[in-house]
A = this chain, B = another copy of it.
Amino acid sequence: MSKKNAVIVFSGGMDSTTLLYDIVASKEFNKIYAISFNYGQNHTKELVVAKKTCEKLRVEQKIVDVSFLGKELLFGSSLTTGADNIPEGDYNAENMKSTVVPNRNMILLSLSAGYAISIGATVLFYGAHKGDHEIYPDCRFEFVEKMKQVLAICDWSEIELRAPYLDFDKGDIAIRGKELNVDYALTWTCYKGGEKACGKCGSCVERLEAFEKAGYSDSVEYEEEK
């Protein structure tokens, strides 16, 4: 039987980058396509590093401009309306909920599935992990489970959604990344758009905790001493 083709929703953050290394290492697929979205987020730097990772791994990357989401639809999210209002501190803090883009994951997964169908890929990968569950309703186990069910029947042939890191926290992902020799210098997590990562926003804090749990140093540069 010939190998399947796969699409990965690829942000250039550490989760989806680790997942891409994992998929490449599996040798399960004939061809792997990375789909990346520019949805008007402040941290477009993640797109720059995403491109470099795809080049390094020789994976075809599709960048889709969905910046209309910020302009047209998704009012009130600080991810799409300038960096000043990005809350600092822990992801668990109530104020991090302002970074939620309404229904973002369903939108990006449905677009990715459309892309997969159009190029004949039948497996769709998505790097949701345990740490996202409390903040983002569309990162919960039951959301992913229901998305699997609807993606299985959205076309005449099944699109298989896989989210293999759903039981991982971000520390587990960093541990897996070490095994896979992931180049984390080519990832971007900070929600602010600076030259170096701020080290203070919820996203940076969570990333630094992940490397601490994994027991090695992050190779991304930070503005201040860690």
* Residue ranges of A at the interface with B (Cβ–Cβ < 8 Å): 62, 64-66, 68-69, 72-76, 101-107, 109-111, 113-115, 117-119, 137-138, 140, 142-143, 146-147, 149-151, 153-156
State A143–B150 Cα separation when bound (angstroms).
6
What distance in Å separates the Cβ of A3 from its nearest Cβ neighbour in chain B? Answer: 21
Complex copy number for this chain: 2
* Main SS at interface, chain A: helix
Inside 8 A of A143's CB, which chain B residues have their CB?
150, 153-154
Could you tell me if B64 and A66 are in contact, using CB atoms closer than 8 angstroms? no
What distance in Å separates the Cβ of A65 from its nearest Cβ neighbour in chain B? Answer: 6
Could you tell me if B103 and A154 are in contact, using CB atoms closer than 8 angstroms? yes
Which interface residue of A62, A149, A151, A156 has the most chain B CB atoms within 10 A? A149
State A75–B142 Cα separation when bound (angstroms).
32
Inside 8 A of A153's CB, which chain B residues have their CB?
137, 140, 142-143, 146
State A219–B146 Cα separation when bound (angstroms).
42
Could you tell me if A118 and B68 are in contact, using CB atoms closer than 8 angstroms? no
Inside 8 A of A62's CB, which chain B residues have their CB?
72
Could you tell me if B114 and A107 are in contact, using CB atoms closer than 8 angstroms? yes
Could you tell me if A150 and B154 are in contact, using CB atoms closer than 8 angstroms? no
Could you tell me if B149 and A118 are in contact, using CB atoms closer than 8 angstroms? no
